[in-house]
Chains A and B, each alone.
Chain A
């Protein structure tokens, strides 16, 4: 097992800072997911770890071995970094069969048991019956399974995933992310996975990083990121809603008509976020709740989901046990312990 350590990674494309001193460590066997919108720098970081992109500053270690350090003129080419990688566009070699695709890297490493290793990897992804097919004869999901088999066939200690499920439909995505989680844990692989899909990120991550404009805003266990977002953007990008204006004076937070006790004292204008499931719905006026008008209500299987317009025209979602009527007035009571409060200038 091998770790990945990134220290103050810095990269510019012209005047755009793609990576702005990003540091993180993926411990051996840990599954690290980087979550962020396009242009946040996550792909650049992943490609730098693979050796496909050169950093302008900082350093990258694979285990104890330094693989990238621009200050020392060090850049190990991708082929000697001993990694596996699954690409967004699959990147299967179209002229090679499924077996040949998986076997090529093994044969290049002159492994005598290449055939057995390739077969074993293909069995692992459930494609042992399609070894002689060409990539174009497979569905998108099958192609990505081949790419996964190719990446794990040589039992790499580190595996990189470049938004591997973004071209697949919802059901396949679910199926494949389970396969990815199972295989990486089974082989004790250290994984670095990038995505813009928060449900995928929470599903897979042992550690989750949220990136924006080249900066790593938070890097922690997914539970911590979810319950204690360190930045308004992290809260929003992981599904929190609101952004309501509030004012804090010492320990007392004034939010509309509500007064909520806070743990840390500070004074000034604030922005308040909360998660849909932390809202309690009242049909009568409530002193610790916000007035809202039902805009739309939809049946979601286990519960109803309502879209509610607050007095300041902010639209929020909340679950309810029964169907609400459009135009109906309700009162939303956020759980005081689950409010995410950020100073106005934190953005």
Chain B
């Protein structure tokens, strides 16, 4: 055969480089997952049944910690969390359903406004909302200052109702985002088919409601799990109003004397089990719903309800009220309190001024935490992003390792930050890993917390690159470096920037890991804020909060502006624009 002579014409280039890169990526991703997530979590959770692990005082296998976790204060916290999780879940889902109906199925033009508010609420840490309500309603708070003594409101916010309300409004975005897309899928032709076939009134509503059920179940499960895992409200409103919640009881067990790791671990199991049941039930509903999923994407758009004058008035009023309760009241209360000179001197012009801001900006012990958190946030977000990029690359390859990592990452997305932080205290306070009490460990916890969500953000763009865009470049002769310079970097620049900004701004205000892991004498921002709230330094704490929010928002804006100016225009075109068409 003539061709046989060409067999040895060209030396065989090794695929070894590519293989090596793949192995390096895979092992880096695996190591990150094992060290940052699996090891601390597993070792901590094992303590619930093996209290003697790593030289702890207990011995062998024991269920005593679970008995403790289902008794007294701990049991009360479980029951409270369950009741509050269920009620805030129901409230948030009801409100999310109503708001999403307004934006998706009526002619009311509020979509942009609602979307903006939803994202703002989603990004606002729950403890900031709680602090807002606290400074307003607490005895001696803003309302009292204004001469308003509304005992019922004070009573509500120093009990379970306030806790459930704040948790519900905080989590409306989850319900809204889970339900809103479904309104469109059940509309259009399905609705018309019901009409054409003579199904009317209540029967038609019931038919469509059944189709919405999976979205409602998903929304409820997410809100329930999130409310149950929340530490911000538990550590502020919950703690000050003597409504012990499960996350706070885990925190208490870790700060009890003597410190009770097994109890914290057993309570964490209960927390994970309750959240897990909700997610499992939702998955069941979804699986059943998937069996009759016939959505083709070619359906006609749903017809929108035209609201009359009265309907519009009701809609605007209800949305306004919701906006007030969810965002405006806590924000205004915070800002107002920050300008109040002396608590107790009443609400008058003479008692308003910039004194708190002067103190905050002058005192190192108040501004220090903000600088410290900002610095750690920058470093941890960068680390998280590098690891997320590695993980997303592994995930986009579709290998067996990728599928395994995907399961772990999805699991940790739903993992309460407090449980992970508790795991860090135990796992990294060992003679062979003495990192507890260092900034390094706090930074690691921050990075671990941000890593799963960042990797999901980067997964979409990376998968598309992996599957066709990069391949198209290589087939057409673009070199590896060319692909990186002309395709990969331009397409990833924007997702990377947003993922970093999201991670960093989240870390600055992060509470559970900060509270459990901060180095002695170096409190991060969230810890400093909560400390001054607990000391009733409302003026200083709110001023610090306003300064911190202003600096973070300003920094995000500045970075965006600078990057927008520096990046070439085609680096800023969004990847998903192609699909939005």
Q: Which residues of A pack against B, CB within 8 Å? A: 5, 50-52, 54, 61, 64-66, 69, 72-85, 87, 89, 91-97, 100, 104-105, 108-109, 134-137, 150-151, 154, 160
Contacts and interface: CB of A to CB of B under 8 A. Distances in A.
B486 interface: yes
Interface of B: 2-3, 6-10, 12-15, 468-469, 471-480, 482, 486-487, 490-491, 570-571, 573-575, 577-581
B3 A89 contact: no
A134 B475 CA distance: 21
A76 B13 contact: yes
Nearest to A71: B7
Contact of B578 (A77, A85, A94, A105): A94
A143 to B, nearest CB: 9
A307 to B, nearest CB: 27
Interface of chain B: mostly helix, strand, loop or mixed? helix
B580 A136 contact: yes
B7 A72 contact: yes
A248 to B, nearest CB: 39
Given A5-B3, A91-B471, A108-B476, 4 more contacts: A77-B13, A81-B475, A104-B473, A108-B486
Given A51-B475, A151-B476, A87 B468 contact: yes
Contacts of A100: 570
A83 B487 CA distance: 19
B216 to A, nearest CB: 33
Contacts of A89: 468
A54 B15 contact: yes
Nearest to A73: B12
Contacts of B487: 93
A81 B478 CA distance: 11
A23 to B, nearest CB: 12
Contacts of A82: 477
A83 B477 CA distance: 8
Contacts of A83: 475-476
A108 B478 contact: yes
A104 B13 contact: no
Contact of A79 (B7, B478, B491, B577): B478
Contacts of A73: 12, 14
Given A92-B578, A134-B573, A136-B580, A108 B3 contact: no
Contacts of B491: 93-95
Nearest to A151: B476
Which of B13, B14, B471, B482 has most A Cβ within 10 Å?
B471
A28 to B, nearest CB: 15
A104 B570 contact: no
The 5 tightest CB contacts between A and B, nearest first, are A105-B476, A91-B472, A91-B468, A94-B578, A73-B12
A108 B482 contact: yes
Given A95-B491, A136-B580, A78 B3 contact: no
B476 A66 contact: no
Which of A61, A95, A109 has most B Cβ within 10 Å?
A95
A154 B580 CA distance: 31
Which of A100, A135, A136 has most B Cβ within 10 Å?
A136
Given A66-B9, A69-B7, A150 B578 contact: no
A150 to B, nearest CB: 7
A105 B477 contact: yes
Contacts of B573: 94-95, 134
A93 B3 CA distance: 37
Nearest to A97: B570
Contacts of B474: 51-52, 77-79
A66 B7 contact: yes
B384 to A, nearest CB: 25
A79 B471 contact: no
A105 B471 CA distance: 12
A66 B6 contact: yes
B477 A154 contact: yes
Nearest to A102: B476
Given A54-B15, A95-B575, A104 B479 contact: no
A64 B472 contact: no
Contacts of A69: 7
Nearest to A65: B6
B578 A135 contact: yes
B477 to A, nearest CB: 5
A92 B579 CA distance: 12
Contacts of A136: 577-581
Contacts of A137: 581
A46 B212 CA distance: 43
B22 to A, nearest CB: 13
A64 B468 contact: no
A77 B482 CA distance: 14
A160 B471 CA distance: 13
24 contacts: A50-B471, A51-B475, A52-B475, A64-B3, A65-B10, A74-B10, A76-B10, A78-B474, A79-B474, A79-B477, A83-B475, A85-B475, A91-B468, A92-B472, A93-B486, A94-B573, A94-B574, A95-B490, A95-B491, A104-B473, A108-B477, A108-B478, A134-B573, A136-B577
A52 B471 contact: yes
B476 A150 contact: yes
Nearest to B576: A94
Contacts of A66: 3, 6-7, 9-10
Contacts of B478: 79, 104-105, 108
Contacts of A95: 490-491, 570-571, 573, 575
Contacts of B570: 95-97, 100
A61 to B, nearest CB: 6
Contacts of A87: 468, 471-472
Nearest to A160: B475
A79 B480 CA distance: 8
Contacts of A151: 476
Nearest to A5: B3
B7 A75 contact: no
Contacts of A65: 6, 9-10
B495 to A, nearest CB: 12
A72 B478 CA distance: 25
B117 to A, nearest CB: 28
Contacts of B12: 72-75
A96 B490 CA distance: 10
A339 B2 CA distance: 40
Contacts of B581: 136-137
A156 B490 CA distance: 27
Nearest to B400: A14
B146 to A, nearest CB: 53
A83 B486 CA distance: 19
Nearest to A74: B12
A72 B6 CA distance: 12
A285 to B, nearest CB: 47
A109 B9 contact: no
Given A73-B12, A78-B474, A105-B477, A91 B469 contact: yes
Nearest to B479: A79
Nearest to B485: A108
Contacts of A52: 471, 474-475
B238 to A, nearest CB: 47
Contacts of A96: 570
A92 B469 CA distance: 7
Contact of B475 (A74, A78, A109, A135): A78
B577 A94 contact: yes
